[in-house]
Structure formats: structure tokens, C-alpha cells
Amino acid sequence: MCGIVGYVGDKKALIKIMTGLKSLEYRGYDSSGIAYVKDGIVKILKEEGPIRNLEEKINYNEITTIGISHTRWSTHGAANKINAHPHRQGKITLVHNGIIENYEQLKRELLNQGYCFQSNTDTEVAAAVIDSLYKKSQDMVLVLNEAVKMLTGSYAFNIINDDYPDTIFAMRKDSPLIVGIGQKENILASDIPAILHITNKYVVLDNYDIVVMQSNKLEYYNADNQKISKQINIFVGDIETISKNGYDHYMLKEINEEPEIVKRILTLYTDEGRIKIPFKLNKYASVDIVACGSASFAGQLGKFYIEKFLNIPTSVTFASEYRYQKNFFRKDKLVILISQSGETADTLAALKLAKDNGVTTLAIVNRKDSSIAREADNVIYTEAGIEVSVATTKAYLAQVIVLLLLAASGSKEEGSVLNDLKILPNIITKQINDYDYKKVSKFLYKKENIFYLGRGIDYFLAMEGSLKLKEISYIHSEAFAAGELKHGSISLIDENFGVIAVVTDKNISHKTISNLKEVAARSAKILTITNINDDSFSNYVIKIDDISDVLNPLLAIIPMQLLAYNIAKLKNCDIDKPRNLAKSVTVE
């Protein structure tokens, strides 16, 4: 949710800053802005819309060695130029990722002190808070630690103070921020892709860390104003890892990476025909899975696997609901948090709640060093690599595979699951390449409504398929348990409706098929993703292989991702950066 980049070093700072910022556009793209120091004066440029609008205003020949920049996903205040960051008050110019929850109260106090505000943002209030504190003490580290006491909420800040034109100050609480360490140049950013054009050496900041950054100096301070040292990490991989590699979109590239990711997970978490995943579920009496969006739908498959193989009662709850419901925190319960980014605010809050109640937590996370990965008692990485497309594909599949391994580990089905998983990468490759998804998509892309139907595990897949479609194609779509439709929603169905049916579970396929016949009788157009041979009720069929009841659902995911992609492409949508969304949701 918002991306920030701060840079000090080379005379061509503008290009270095903007290269970093563009790689963070997945975090928000309502507006963007930059502040840099030119001849001792802070200059600010901002534009509404995607970063390319800002780029058109930048003169890359201008010489500057220092700047801070921001790409916004708006929370407080409309997505316009005035509310775009950076914001400036007095001597302080800053960019911010996060939300200052008490900004209205602070604003009232600051108005009394004589501050005026141009924007509706919480960020401009934070700038005024820091400026007012700086008037009392000229030590920026002390000032920032005082500001921490006044600001509630979450934040990662990059700050330029007029009195220190060669320095960027930064701090964070519950919003990610890393420091990239270069040769006579340093960079601050919300995420790794933004530093890789400069360095692969980085420091992950912890909550309440403060950074003082110049081209040749990096100092870190804690909340007691004491200097601290930080561990330097090396990012393994390069810029190619996160480039499109010739694909039209990151989403397509990431879907094509799925076979390799399955292989990587198997190499890491299996050995000599056994699962070697670094956690055992069998000592727990119950499991709560907590996650948001696609991660929660992966969790639904996890529930299916855990209950099937281990007989452990498992619930799945959206993280945004978890804190507000009654939870039974017993010592023999495990709370599993699933997150690609590892920064999702609601999931992080649920993790803290479970820990505060003394319950063991296990995070299944993709991004190393993320807040959820670091705060959970145990962590298993999904190893899907950096995912850039806002709509998750490979990270979702990786979550499901890790959950499957976790559930099968130590169960009597362990051997057969592993045997089936070995052939999965090749079958996924075949599933991706053997079908003309564009052709199939043509009959759906003009629909205004598409229902996804399935029963049992197929219903959980339908949820993910439907989310994927609606978020990138803007077609209204809902997932239904196939048997539920006739209890009300079937009244919507007419000849203009599209239906995508998922039928992989042969035990209940006959029931699903009779539901689909009910829909066909009302003239809806049906596309079925299935491994069964009875497809008389469908207008179109996408066949998937028949490996096993446990693995077949994982194959159905692939056509659903590719259908969503191709439908959105036919509609000319901005596939990797759908409107109103951001990759990492660091606000509640």
C-alpha cells in the first residue's frame, strides 16, 4: 500500500530514484511524487495517475544527489495532485506509507499552533508534527523518537529536513522499509525490487528503528536514541528475476513459473521420498487458519487437506474478521497465518492477537524478512520468488502446495501424495501450453456477470477463480456452492449469464452436474473445467488430467488463472495493476 524510495549518492539521482519507484508501482498507482534538493532548495513534483504522468514532468538532466519519492494508494483524501506525496510543512518534506490513525486530533492541535494544511491527508499532519518538534530540538533522532510517541498507526517515512540537504532520515512502524547499501550511494525503499538497480546488499528495518542516511554514511538508532548496528543481508537473484522476461504481463510470466515453483518446493521440503517440512501439525487439537483474499482461499484447501489427512478440526477466517469474533484460544490450538507479502495489516494484527493469547503461531509466507515472517513463532516460506502482478497466481499455488505437504506429512497418505506431486510440474506445463485459452475466453469476455460453481473442494477453487476474474477483468463474478444456487440466486440466471463450473471431485460430480443442468435449462452459457467425461451440459469444456482426488484441484487452478488473464486481456484491462488495488495491503 504505497511505495516509497529515498536515494542519496550519484549526481543523476533522479533516474535512480525513478527506476526504483517504477518497480514499486504494484504497491499503488493513484498518484505519485518526488522531492529533491537542487542548489540547497527542496523541489517537489507531483502528478495524479500512474507514475508515467510524473515522469513526463521530470527533467532527468537536472543535477541532484538526493531525493525521496512516493507512489500512492490513497487512504485519506482523494487520489489527486494535492493529496499526492511528498508533503511539506515548515522545514520538513516527507513521504509516507501507512496510516496515522490519530491525525484528526493532531491536526486540531497543530491548527491551534498556526499550521495550515493544503491536503486532506494524514501524512501532511505527520510532517507538521515533526516540524513542530524540530522547532524545539534540532536533533533529528530525538525529534523522530518524540514523534513516535505522538503518532498512532502505521508508518514508513522518508524525510528531508531543509537544514540537512545531504541527508535522508527514515523510520518505520508496521510498514515495511529496507535500506539498500551501495558504493558511495544508499537507497531506502518499501521493497527489494526498488534497490536492485543499485545493490543487492540490504538491511531490514525493525519497528521504531531510525535511519540517518547520506551517500557515505548510514547510522541506525533505536527508540532510546542509541546507535545500533544492523545485520546486512544479500538478496540472491537479480533484476531479471523480477523482470517480465519477454512475457506481455507479469501475471502471465508468473503463471508460467508455476511448474518450476512446485519443483523448488519439493526440492526444499522433501528428501528421499519423505516430507521434510520444518513443522509438525499432529500435536495440535485444532487449527485456525487466518488470511485475506486468495491466501484465505488457499487456506480453505489447507483446511480440506488437514481435516482429510490428520483429522484435526480446522477453521478458516478472514483476518479482517478474526479479531472481532469470539476465538477459543486453547493451549493445544495452532494459528496458521498465510500471506504472500507478509505485510498484510489484518493478518499481522491477527498474529499479534494469537500471540498475546499465548497460542502457537505458524506463518506460511512468501516474502523473507517480512513482518509476519519475523513475528510468528514458526515460519515456512512458500519460495515462490517475488510476485509483481497484483493478482496472485504462483504465490497462491505455492501456498496450497505447502499446506498440502504440511497436512500430508506423517500421515498414511504421505507416500502417495509425494508420488503424485512429482508428476505435477509436467502436467501443469502441459495444462498451460495445450490449450487455447484466448479462444475459449472469447465467448465469455463480453459477459457482465459470471458465476463460478463447485461443490466441496471445487467450491473453494471457484472462490479463487471468481476473485481472479473480477479483480483483473472488472466483470461481476461470484462463487457459489453449486447446491446453494437454487436457494435464491438462480433467479438471476438468464441467457446473458456466464457460468464457469469446476468439477474435479468425482465423488460428488453427479450432484454438481445436476445443478449445472438446472442452470443450462435457464439458458446460461456454461464452461466446465473438469476431469470427468460427462460434459453434455456444457457449451465449452477445458479438460484437466486425472491424477488423484487430492491433486486434481491444483490442476483446475491453472485454467482459472489463464481464463481470467485472457478475458482481462481481451477487455484491454491493466492486468498487472488493476484499478483500486495494490499488491501489499498494509492498512486495515
> Which residue is nearest to ligand F6R, using beta carbons?
293
Among 471, 505, 535, 576, binds ligand F6R (CB under 6 A): 471
**Which residue, 464, 89, 147, is CA-closest to 302?**
464
Number of H helices, E strands in the chain: 17, 27
Nearer to ligand F6R by C-beta: 97 or 294?
294
Nearer to ligand F6R by C-beta: 96 or 394?
394
Nearer to ligand F6R by C-beta: 391 or 450?
391
Among 130, 159, 345, 391, binds ligand F6R (CB under 6 A): 391
Q: Amino acid identity, residue 234? A: I
Q: Residues 316 to 345: which contact ligand F6R by CB under 6 A?
A: 339-341, 344
Instruction: Supply the DSSP symbol for 486.
Output: G
CB of 348 to ligand F6R, least distance (A): 9
Cell of 253: 510470466
* 2, 173, 253, 525: the active-site residue: 2
Nearer to ligand F6R by C-beta: 34 or 467?
467
Residue found by looking up cell 482461499 in the block: 297
Nearer to ligand F6R by C-beta: 75 or 584?
584
Whether cis (ω within 30° of 0) applies to the bond prior to 86 is: yes
Interface with ligand F6R: number of residues (CB under 6 A): 15
Nearer to ligand F6R by C-beta: 27 or 88?
27
Beginning with the edge strand found earlier in the chain, give each strand of the sheet holding 476-481 in spatial order.
476-481, 449-454, 498-503, 525-530, 540-543
Cell of 465: 477463480
Distances (CA, A) of 122 to 93, 108, 126, 352: 14, 12, 7, 25
Nearer to ligand F6R by C-beta: 249 or 525?
249
* Contact status, residue 258 vs residue 399, Cβ threshold 8 Å: no
CB of 347 to ligand F6R, least distance (A): 5
CA–CA gap between residue 123 and residue 127 (Å, rounded): 6
CB of 274 to ligand F6R, least distance (A): 29
CB of 80 to ligand F6R, least distance (A): 25
CB of 312 to ligand F6R, least distance (A): 23
Catalytic annotation present for 2: yes
Nearer to ligand F6R by C-beta: 117 or 474?
474
575 near ligand F6R, rule: CB under 6 A: no
Q: Residues 197 to 216: which contact ligand F6R by CB under 6 A?
A: none
User: What backbone torsions phi and psi does residue 528 show, to the nearest 5 degrees?
Assistant: -115, 135
Helix (H, G, I), strand (E, B) or coil at 192: helix
Whether cis (ω within 30° of 0) applies to the bond prior to 313 is: no
* 107, 394, 447, 583: the active-site residue: 583
Among 347, 431, 473, 530, binds ligand F6R (CB under 6 A): 347
* Contact status, residue 60 vs residue 12, Cβ threshold 8 Å: yes
Q: Amino acid identity, residue 141? A: V
Among 4, 262, 397, 585, binds ligand F6R (CB under 6 A): 585
CB of 392 to ligand F6R, least distance (A): 4
* Contact status, residue 555 vs residue 546, Cβ threshold 8 Å: no
Sequence-distant (6+) residues with CB within 8 A of 369 are: 178, 204, 233, 342
* Contact status, residue 176 vs residue 156, Cβ threshold 8 Å: yes
Residue found by looking up cell 491424477 in the block: 547
Cell of 406: 504440511
| Structural element, H or E, at residue 299 | helix 293-310
User: What stretches of 387-537 show up as alpha helix (H) in DSSP?
Assistant: 394-408, 414-433, 437-441, 457-473, 509-520
**Which residue, 159, 204, 178, 173, is CA-closest to 99?**
173
CB of 336 to ligand F6R, least distance (A): 13
CB of 221 to ligand F6R, least distance (A): 30
- 3-state SS string over 204-239? ECCCCCEEEECCCCEEEECCCCCEECCCCEECCCCH
Nearer to ligand F6R by C-beta: 373 or 516?
373
* Contact status, residue 531 vs residue 546, Cβ threshold 8 Å: yes
Nearer to ligand F6R by C-beta: 391 or 440?
391
CB of 57 to ligand F6R, least distance (A): 31
Catalytic annotation present for 116: no
CB of 584 to ligand F6R, least distance (A): 6
CB of 472 to ligand F6R, least distance (A): 8
CA–CA gap between residue 387 and residue 118 (Å, rounded): 36
Nearer to ligand F6R by C-beta: 21 or 575?
575
Point out which residues pair with 66 in neighbouring strands.
8
Cell of 329: 484460544
**Which residue, 188, 98, 446, 370, is CA-closest to 351?**
370
Helix (H, G, I), strand (E, B) or coil at 163: coil
CA–CA gap between residue 254 and residue 256 (Å, rounded): 5
Q: For the chain, give the longest Cα–Cα distance.
A: 78
Q: Residues 265 to 324: which contact ligand F6R by CB under 6 A?
A: 292-295
Among 74, 175, 300, 392, binds ligand F6R (CB under 6 A): 392
Q: Give me the active site residues, please.
A: 2, 583
Give the footprint of ligand F6R on this chain (CB under 6 A).
292-295, 339-341, 344, 347, 391-392, 467, 471, 584-585
